[in-house]
Structure 1
Amino acid sequence: MNALDYFNARLEATISPMDYLKLSQMEPDKYFLIDVRNGPINVRSLTIKDAHVIPQLELPNRLNEIPKDKEIIVYCWDVWCNTAAKVAKFLLERGYKVKELTGGIAAWKEMNFPVLDSSQDVEVSDNCGC
């Protein structure tokens, strides 16, 4: 693979937080954003506003919640986390159109984009199901 092919593939498979924010504001019904992070709810209580929370470990049992007629955007913790890439591959193999949000929730927060904190709304459990 040459550099041009690499960058074309990268652009096809990912979307930046800025691009996602702009595009989802212009066409809100086109996208379905999924927070796929695993782990205890208390450490992942901060989510991107309007994201659907479907942890990777629950995904196979919750496919019916994911529309096939929308572009699916998945995110996890940050650039070092590959959970979103694993979920993207899983969904692509099942016929979904998917992109990974570059940088995950960490990049989103760094840019001060809208988030939702559900820590006051949930009961904290020590059992993460990992």
Structure 2
Amino acid sequence: MTEDAIEHFSAKLRFETDPSDVHAAFERGERFVLIDSRAAAAWNHGRVAGAVHLPTAEIEERAPGSIPLDTPVVVYCWGPGCNGSTRAALAFSRLGYEVREMIGGYEYWVREGLPTEDESGRRMTASVDPLTAPRGIGCAC
């Protein structure tokens, strides 16, 4: 039973990441591409600053010509109530990409007050949800 748990949680950490870790990776200049897999209307409304728009239905056709196969990919969709990022991660995996899913999606990126942009350009989220990123308190995870 313990070995099964170790295997399970190790796999989660290999294939999942979260908004704060993705933001930190951006800040460190790590090599990866962040994919917003949502539809155009959602993308236009707001997205993670620096993300690339590639709706799930277009991944199979467009990814090979626009993202080198040796580039790690992180995908996100709306939030934890949506499995769109899981579908996008599966599509990238089938093409042979190293891929991770950003759990929490755009919702938790915004709730943590991380940089977003929309059609008007770069902007910062005005308020941080104190339940996701309380000021002065780190989860130390």
1:43-102 superposed Cα distances (whole Å, 9 cap, x missing partner): 432000010001112222212112212210000000111111111112112210000011
Give aligned pairs, total: 117
Q: Which structure has the higher relative contact order (CA within 8 Å, separation 6+)?
A: 1
Over aligned residue pairs, what C-alpha RMSD do you find? 1.7
Q: Residue in 2 aligned with 1:27? A: 29
Give unpaired runs (5+ residues) of structure 2. Answer: 122-141
**Hey, what's the Cα distance between the residues in 2 that align with 1:6 and 1:78?**
22
Q: Residue in 2 aligned with 1:92? A: 93
TM-score under structure 2 length normalisation: 0.76
**Which amino acid letter does the alignment assign opposite residue 91 of structure 1?**
F
Q: Which runs of structure 1 show a deviation greater than 6 angstroms over 4 or more consecutive aligned residues? A: none
Q: Residue in 1 aligned with 2:81? A: 80
Give unpaired runs (5+ residues) of structure 1. Answer: 122-130
Q: Residue in 1 aligned with 2:103? A: 102
Percent identity of the aligned residues? 29
**Hey, what's the Cα distance between the residues in 1 that align with 2:68 and 2:27?**
19
TM-score under structure 1 length normalisation: 0.82
Matches within 5 A, 1:49-64: 49-63=49-63, 64=65
Whether the 8 Å CA contact 2:59–2:91 is kept in 1: the answer is: no
Q: Residue in 2 aligned with 1:8? A: 10
Report the 3-state secondary structure (helix = DSSP H, G, I; strand = E; otherwise coil) of the residue aligned with 1:33. strand
Q: Residue in 2 aligned with 1:126? A: none
